[in-house]
Amino acid sequence: MNRPGDPGFADRRNASLEAKKALLKKAQSVAKPKAELEAIAAERAALAAAREARTLEREREKREAAERAAAEAARRQEEEARAKAEAERAAADQAVAEEAERKAERDRRYAARKARNR
């Protein structure tokens, strides 16, 4: 049912076309000039280059830290090996000294036994 004052099909179609034209005109007027777009692109490229430089710097720092850690671990391992070798040498020297003491005690007992038997 049509009521008086209701827009008809043709009115709605014309209103729709007018709205589309208005949107198109607005979109064209908002479009940025080519120079401004180039400036934005250059700014983005500069930001990307700076980001890449920071990434490379972080990677270099990580690599250097890993190298320092590896060098420190090698130095610590070398010190531990040196300390272990020194401990083994000291233990061997002590074993030789103890063996010499046992031998000297045995020789003393042998000499005392010989002296008693004469």
pLDDT value of residue 11: 87
Amino acid 39 reads: A
Kindly state the DSSP code that residue 63 receives in the 8-state scheme. H
Residue 32: closest CA among 20, 40, 43? 40
User: Is 102 inside any structural domain?
Assistant: yes
User: Is 4 inside any structural domain?
Assistant: no
pLDDT tens for 10-56 read 888 999 999 999 998 887 777 667 888 888 899 999 999 999 999 99
pLDDT value of residue 36: 82
Domain that holds residue 40: 11-117
Residue 64 tokens read as 């250097």
User: Is 1 inside any structural domain?
Assistant: no
pLDDT value of residue 101: 96
User: Is 57 inside any structural domain?
Assistant: yes
pLDDT tens for 60-112 read 999 999 999 999 999 999 999 999 999 999 999 999 999 999 999 999 999 99
Domain count, the chain: 1
User: Is 80 inside any structural domain?
Assistant: yes
